[in-house]
Amino acid sequence: MIIAVVGPTAVGKTKMSVMLAKKYDAIIINSDAMQVYKDLNIGTAKVTEEEKEGVPHFLFDIKDVSEEYSIYNYQQDVRKLLEKYKNKNIIFVGGTGLYLRSALYDYDLEKESGHNDYSNYSNEELYQMALQKDKNCDIHPNNRVRLERFLDKEKTTIKEPVKLYDHIIIGLTLDREVLYDRINKRVDAMINDGLLEEVKSFYDRKVFSKPLVNGIGYKELYEYFDGNISLDEAINKIKQNSRHYAKRQYTFFNNQFDVNWFDVNLDNFDETYSNVVSFIDKSRGVSDEKYN
């Protein structure tokens, strides 16, 4: 049995995944693009050893932030795990919908050809090159990082996806205002827990890799350390970008998956868990049984 726990940031996915893993004697596989990187802990709200409660977790902390890791790499790694643990129950958890999609459907992703030097090209020139490669390219002309990565790709063919593995998608959700307030408070908690120190350790070492210059919670503080914005402005940007990301997550999951949504009871998370378990058991045609 494969279960995926999805939803926007700050909604309780980690807690739910561990509870379900203990219930169904399952392993947990990460489907968050940022949590594959080592030492990006506070800013990604990465599961702690204590929170794992002894449940085996995979594809967390597998790459240094200076290493390249694409959706192609993730697909290769996750398919190996799905084969290795095909006789186990598996729970995916994370907010990167495309990672999950690449794991469960037959997305044909070819490896990137390498890294070319585009330093002599302007953003507009890169954009025109991208249009020559694909006239339907919708990358913004000022998003240089994405343009370069797009130009480096040999080919990415996405066929009409066919489901490769039977699975159940559990979506956790909250009222939007409650969610946004929770996101804001989570960012404040991250700052108090040492997010500045976490980011500064990379900045001082002049690490400017993709997860740090693009990742929410990291790119904003890099702007602050560069002296371009104040700390308050950086924190407000993190909150704003996190809220916008939550919106995009809802859109992607609703458009790309058959999600079974559950309202999270913040005062009684056990109730939410019980509702999810009842749904899973009913959908599998069993009751209070261990899956094999």
Q: What is the pLDDT of residues 68-115, one digit of tens each?
A: 888 889 999 999 999 999 999 999 999 999 899 999 998 776 554 456
Question: Is-contact 154 254, C-beta < 8 A?
Answer: no
Specify the pLDDT at position 109: 65
pTM of the model: 0.81
Residue 17, pLDDT > 60, answer yes
* Chain centroid, CA 21 distance in Å: 19
pLDDT one-digit tens code per residue, 138-189: 788 888 888 887 887 754 444 557 889 999 999 999 999 999 999 999 999 9
Q: What is the mean pLDDT of residues 51-58?
A: 96
Residue among 183, 209, 187, 207 at smallest CA distance from 196: 187
Question: Is-contact 4 170, C-beta < 8 A?
Answer: yes
Specify the pLDDT at position 290: 44
Q: Which residues contact 211 (CB under 8 A, 6 or more apart)?
A: 33, 34, 37, 40, 65, 218
∠ CA 209-235-61, nearest 5°, is: 40
Question: Is-contact 26 91, C-beta < 8 A?
Answer: yes
Strand residues in the chain grouped as ranges (E): 2-6, 26-30, 57-58, 89-93, 108-109, 156-157, 168-173, 259-263
Sign of CA dihedral 219, 224, 228, 231: positive
Question: Is-contact 155 108, C-beta < 8 A?
Answer: no
Q: Which residue has the higher pLDDT, 114 or 219?
A: 219
Specify the pLDDT at position 160: 59
Specify the pLDDT at position 289: 46
Q: Are strands 108-109 and 156-157 parallel, antiparallel or unpaired?
A: antiparallel
- Domains identified in the chain and CATH numbers: 2-113+153-284 (3.40.50.300), 114-152 (no CATH)
- Burial readout 241-268 (b: 16 or more C-beta within 10 A, e: otherwise): bbbeebeebbebbeeebebeebebeeee
> What is the spatial distance between Cα 278 and Cα 229, in angstroms, rounded to a whole number?
49
Q: What is the mean pLDDT of residues 224-230?
A: 97
- How does residue 122 score in pLDDT terms, banded at 50, 70 and 90? confident
- How does residue 56 score in pLDDT terms, banded at 50, 70 and 90? very high
246: left (phi over 0), alpha (psi -120 to 50) or beta: alpha
Q: What is the mean pLDDT of residues 22-51?
A: 96
- Residue 192 burial (10 A CB sphere; 0-12, 13-18, 19+): exposed
Average pLDDT, whole number, for the chain? 89
